Each structure stands twice: as C-alpha cells, then as structure tokens.
Amino acid sequence: MFISEGSQITRKEARLFLEPANATHRQYEALRAFFVEGLPSPEVAKRFGYSPGSFRVLVHKFRHGPGRQFFLPPAKGPQTAPRSDPVRQQIVALRKQNLSIYDISKALAKEGHPLSAVAVALVLKSEGFARLPRRRDEERPNTVRPTVADVADVRQIDLQPRRVRTQFGGLFLFVALLAKVPLDRICAQAQLPGSKMVPADCAMRSLLGLKLFGTARHGHACLPAGR
C-alpha cells in the first residue's frame, strides 16, 4: 500500500522534470536526453515537440556554444539586510541625515559593512522612504568635487580698442545675423530647457557658435537641465 502510493507520488513529481513548463527548461531536457541519455535525434524531437530540423539546429548551436547557462547564477555579495540587522538600522539613521544611497553605501564601506547602492535602495524602499529630491550643492556632504569655474560677468568686458589673436575671429562675421534672430522667443515657444544662469537662448547661441566654427561633434555641449 505504501509502496504503491510512494510510486505514484514519485511519478507525479517526475513529470515536473519530464514535462517542461517553459522554453529554456524544454531545451535543457531535450539536449540532456540527446547528449546524456543517448536517445536518437528524431525521438528526442518528437518527445519534446520539436521538428527534426529545428532540433538539429538546437544541437548545432549547443555544440558551438556549450557554455550557455540554463540556470540563473546565485546572487553575489550582500543583497538586503534583514530587519533585525544593525546595518539596516544604520541605513535608516543615515537616510534621516539626508544622505543619498551612494553616500550611505560609502559610509557603510568605511565601517567595514560593504553594501551596494542598489541594496541600500532596496532597504530604504522596504522601510517606506521615498527618493531624495534633487539637492543643492550646499546640502550635499563635504566631498571632493570638481573645481567651480568663475561666473562670467558681462559688466567686466573691456571694449577698449585692442588686438587679440584668436581662432574664433570668423564668428564675429555672423554676429549681425544672429542678432536679428529672435532666439529668446523661439526657444520660449519651443519650451527648450534653460536655467537662470544659462537661459535657453544663450545655450542655443553657444551651440550655433560651435556649429559655425566647424565643430562637427558638439554632443558633449549639453543644454542645462530645466524642468
């Protein structure tokens, strides 16, 4: 009685392996039957629902790429911290200090608790924290930052007659033409992004200047983020 019931249970569980539920599982079982069990190609194709030609193509691809993975590799490194983990509480405390996920990840690494920014984000999300709004520079932690260039002040331009050697002298030939183009109105109607320091029409004039100078690739000259 027990043997019979056990055999039925075993056969039922075996069907989970012999009747694949997705394409990857079906390919794995078909290739295993061909290479490991030594079944003929037509028989394997019929058992797993392939045409003889398509299964031969599958075998050919596997012979030339036997390193393909049928199973997901285990995740490496720490993922998320359990609620009872002191690191989790430390992450919460650091976020309450208005630190970003990258700042928190660096702070944990310095204390010997390496945790990726993605893992920190998962912990904060599970704790109900929203993403930080974009912060001003003075609101960010004191870290090494790029040197800030001096702000250009048009009032400091010296218009006294003088001679200056420059490769951009030809641009001045287009000043009169550019002055006639109502770029401020065009940019406003097109809703192009701009900022208080660099309005959209000024940014557009800079891009036009690069184009007139002959700079073919000016993709690195980005418009300032606005909205």
Distance CA 112, CA 80 (A): 16
Please report which residue ranges of 36-100 form alpha helices under DSSP H. Answer: 41-47, 52-64, 86-95
Whether 120 contacts 104, CB under 8 Å:
yes
The arithmetic mean of pLDDT across residues 43-72, rounded, is 86
Distances (CA, A) of 120 to 52, 134, 137, 140, 202: 50, 18, 22, 18, 40
Domain covering 2-64, topology:
Arc Repressor Mutant, subunit A (1.10.10)
Beta-carbon neighbour count of residue 188 at 10 Å? 14
Residue 12 has pLDDT above 90, yes or no: no
| Residues 6 or more apart in contact with residue 78 via CB below 8 angstroms | 114, 115, 116, 119
More confident residue, 209 or 34: 34
pTM summary value = 0.32
Amino acid 40: pLDDT: 93
Q: For residue range 183-198, what is the model confidence (pLDDT) as tens digits?
A: 889 988 988 888 888 8
Domain map (residue ranges) of the chain: 2-64, 86-139, 168-227
Distance CA 204, CA 192 (A): 9
Q: For residue range 82-95, what is the model confidence (pLDDT) as tens digits?
A: 554 678 888 888 88
Coil vs helix vs strand at 118? helix
> Could you tell me the two tokens for 99?
């630190």
Residue 133 has pLDDT above 70, yes or no: yes
Least confident stretch, 7-11, 156-160, 166-170: 7-11
